[in-house]
């Protein structure tokens, strides 16, 4: 047993004993996971994950979700099943891959942005064990996935205008052949699912989330599971927090499930092409997209801000209500709304609502990230009523942050 695992087991035992003594208050103060704003939506020298297997006669256990802001540190994923209540688990990677060309099954080019721009694609890469954690009706296609092949979500297929038999070429030169189109939730809200090996070839390398099943008959509070997992994080983890969802809390089994998935942000605000500076994370979005969507306008309470025109309407309405109820003076400062960057260890995900001009920070001075939030209730209520999720309810709280998270209407069939 290696040093990381020994240390984690000792810390986990301490956390467990503390939980017995002080009860659920410890759970919720550590993890902040009991919010009513839950989603509607390769390590070495570490234990090997027991993986779930199923047979026609065997009961399929419900699937839970765990993720860590900024990504899962090395060695943490395989250690999950040392928590006594967890029976089996699988760890997946997820990153943005940059598309240079999409071709449909007839051989016609349907996407080709041209230099220097690329299309960001939200990709997850999985191990063979992943199939045991998905519904029966899609398990076969996921388990049959081979190197060089990919599964598209229904929304991604509509965005790309391709289906089975189409191909996706990425900036690494690798071409992925689409072998199926599955419901969005089967892919966890990601646009594309590939094998771990194919993921590495297109730049999808960071472990982001774990799917797991608890032992039959167990129904632990998610906060309790998070508290037992927290000691497995290294002391120097940039975001010392764990997010856990039980099966009833999950719409999309993905990292950063408090954010609207990238493909739904594209549908709501329009897909952009961009050029990435990998050294700094700076993102240069194609001028035509910016000019057609990002506007600067004076808003009650906040002054002049620059946002996506659709998000601006919602912010304006929310601030008009704050002004009307007499609490406008409680908003003391405001941050950026449009902040295009692509940083792989960003706690909100590599790309998020801010890249679309659809997130904003309010009362920054009194809401340092990672600290207890102090946002006025009237501001939180007004913003959430207009489709924004509040970052103060995250396990690693960002009390100043409001990100748009209302899904677009379903695609007409």
Around 395, how many Cα atoms within 13 Å sit in the side-chain half-sphere?
31
Per-residue tokens: 185: 């939730």
Nearest Cα neighbor of 314 from 405, 407, 383 is 383
Indicate the SS3 state at residue 365. helix
Neighbours of 116 (CB within 10 A): 11
In angstroms, rounded to a whole number, what is the distance separating the alpha carbons of residues 11 and 31? Answer: 16
User: What's residue 256's pLDDT?
Assistant: 97
Asked whether the beta carbons of 175 and 97 are under 8 A apart, the reply is no
| Cα 198 to Cα 48, 247, 263, distances in angstroms | 22, 29, 21
The pTM score is: 0.87
Around 116, how many Cα atoms within 13 Å sit in the side-chain half-sphere?
7
Per-residue tokens: 395: 């396990």
Asked whether the beta carbons of 132 and 52 are under 8 A apart, the reply is yes
In angstroms, rounded to a whole number, what is the distance separating the alpha carbons of residues 262 and 357? Answer: 13
Indicate the SS3 state at residue 246. coil
User: What's residue 254's pLDDT?
Assistant: 98
User: What's residue 61's pLDDT?
Assistant: 84
Q: What is the DSSP string of 38-80?
A: ------SSSPPPP-----TTSPPPPPEEEE-TT-PPTTTGGGG
CA 115-181-78 angle, to 5 degrees, is 85
Block mean pLDDT (10 aa), the chain, length 413: 46 44 35 39 39 50 96 93 96 98 98 96 97 95 98 98 98 98 97 98 98 96 96 94 96 96 98 95 96 96 97 97 95 95 96 98 96 96 97 97 94 73
Nearest Cα neighbor of 336 from 367, 313, 358 is 358
Asked whether the beta carbons of 103 and 109 are under 8 A apart, the reply is yes
The rounded Cα 92 to chain-centroid distance in angstroms is 12
Contact partners, residue 236, CB within 8 Å, separation at least 6: none
User: What's residue 382's pLDDT?
Assistant: 97
Please give the sequence-ordered ranges of beta strands (E in DSSP) within 230-333, or none if there are none. 243-245, 274-276, 283-285, 294-299, 303-308
Nearest Cα neighbor of 92 from 9, 206, 7, 16 is 206
């Amino acid at each position: 047993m290696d040093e990381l695992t020994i240390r984690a087991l000792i810390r986990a035992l301490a956390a467990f004993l503390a939980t017995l003594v002080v009860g659920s208050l410890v759970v919720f103060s550590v993890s902040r996971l009991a919010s009513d704003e839950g989603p509607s939506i390769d390590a070495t020298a570490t234990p090997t994950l027991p993986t779930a297997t199923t047979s026609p006669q065997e009961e399929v256990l419900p699937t839970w979700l765990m993720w860590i802001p900024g990504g899962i540190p090395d060695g943490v994923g395989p250690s999950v099943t040392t928590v006594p209540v967890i029976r089996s688990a699988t760890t997946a990677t997820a990153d943005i891959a940059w598309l240079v060309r999409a071709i449909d099954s007839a051989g016609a080019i349907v996407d080709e942005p041209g230099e220097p721009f690329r299309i960001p694609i939200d990709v997850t890469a999985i191990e063979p064990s992943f199939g045991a954690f998905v519904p029966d009706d899609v398990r076969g296609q996921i388990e049959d996935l081979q190197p060089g092949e990919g599964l598209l979500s229904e929304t991604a297929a509509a965005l790309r205008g391709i289906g089975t038999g189409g191909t996706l070429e990425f900036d690494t030169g690798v071409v992925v052949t689409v072998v199926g189109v599955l419901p969005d939730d089967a892919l966890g809200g990601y646009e594309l699912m590939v094998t771990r090996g194919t993921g590495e070839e297109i730049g999808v390398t960071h472990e982001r989330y774990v799917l797991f099943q608890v032992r039959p008959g167990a129904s632990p509070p998610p906060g309790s599971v998070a508290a037992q997992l927290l000691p497995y994080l290294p002391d120097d983890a940039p975001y010392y927090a764990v997010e856990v969802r039980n099966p009833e809390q999950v719409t999309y089994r993905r990292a950063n499930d408090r954010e609207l998935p990238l493909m739904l942000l594209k549908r709501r605000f329009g897909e952009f092409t961009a050029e990435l500076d990998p050294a700094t994370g700076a993102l240069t979005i194609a001028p035509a997209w910016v000019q057609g969507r990002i506007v600067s306008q004076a808003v009650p309470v906040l002054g002049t801000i620059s946002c996506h025109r659709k998000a601006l309407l919602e912010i304006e309405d929310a601030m008009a209500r704050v002004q009307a109820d007499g609490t406008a003076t409680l908003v003391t400062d405001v941050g950026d709304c449009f902040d295009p960057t692509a940083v792989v260890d960003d706690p909100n995900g590599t790309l998020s609502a801010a890249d679309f001009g659809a997130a904003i920070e309010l009362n920054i001075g009194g809401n340092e990230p990672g600290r207890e939030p102090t946002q006025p209730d009237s501001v939180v209520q007004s913003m959430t009523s207009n489709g924004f999720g509040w970052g103060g309810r995250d396990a690693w709280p960002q009390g100043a942050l409001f990100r748009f998270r209302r899904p677009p209407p379903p695609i007409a069939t």
